[in-house]
Amino acid sequence: MRIATWNVNSITARLPRLLAWLESSGTDVLCIQETKCTAEQFPTDQLRELGYESAVHADGRWNGVAVVSRVGLDDVVGGLPGGPEYDGVQEPRAISATCGPVRVWSVYVPNGREVAHEHYAYKLNWLEALQDAVAGDAAGERPFAVLGDFNIAPTDDDVWNAAAFEGLTHVTAPERAALAGLRELGLSDVVPRPLKYDHPFTYWDYRQLCFPKNRGMRIDLVYGNKPFADAVKDSYVDREERKGKGASDHAPVVVDLNV
């Protein structure tokens, strides 16, 4: 079974590449972030033609998450139970579903903007609510994973230059402590750090030739419980999908399971 996560940075802009990638990659379940569309605008029909069911939680603004699956799609929950609001709204940043033998969450963690910004406090509160929401599944016997754009680099090795990020979000101790909190629940990062070229970063800014210079970050993560981690037989970042015209600024992260 092949499961992937991908921040597409607008599913409308990325649709031809998304459909082609699903066909070529053999992915069974894809967790999508930053759809930037309403649920009605989501390409459900086009995905159905490829054999995928869709579950979408989106409101048309800059957020939006989805799970698409060709191995079943049940027990869908849109939203983060107990999650905080921002500007009076609980943003569409999480959706969970059961796909065959595996339960997954697709998450788009708030960016945080700047450490002194109220969005940073919102990010930490959101991550705390995520821990509470996934604790039961994390401790269960069914393979379970939280996949998505966490907007956190787990270690200094997960950014191209730690000094360049000093004092910025994505690398602060409280954010990394939130990831540690997920690990304390029994979840583990099942994709190796980008210490070799075949396990590269997952995000490169469009500006300043960041991708050609490989000035990236690893912020798209797969955190699985023990049954999930034990089933992993391979994982990789599809760096090729970041290349070329019309690419997202994120690359898909792919995990193969023996389930």
Average pLDDT over residues 196-210: 82
Minimum mean pLDDT range among 154-158, 199-203, 216-220, 252-256: 199-203
The residues assigned a catalytic role are 108, 149, 250
- Specify the pLDDT at position 100: 98
Q: Long-range contacts of range 204-207, CB-CB < 8 Å, 24 or more positions apart?
A: 204/242, 204/249, 205/249, 206/249
List the domains of the chain with CATH numbers: 2-257 (3.60.10.10)
Q: Is 34 annotated as a binding residue?
A: yes
Average pLDDT over residues 249-254: 97
**What mean pLDDT is reported for the chain?**
95
Q: Is 250 annotated as a binding residue?
A: yes
Q: Is 220 annotated as a binding residue?
A: no
Query: Which of 128, 146, 38 shows the shortest CA–CA distance to 83?
Result: 128
Average pLDDT over residues 66-73: 98
Tokens at 65, concatenated: 């998450």
Q: Is 149 annotated as a binding residue?
A: yes
pLDDT band for 199, please (50, 70, 90 cuts).
low
On the question of pLDDT at 249 being above 90, the answer is: yes
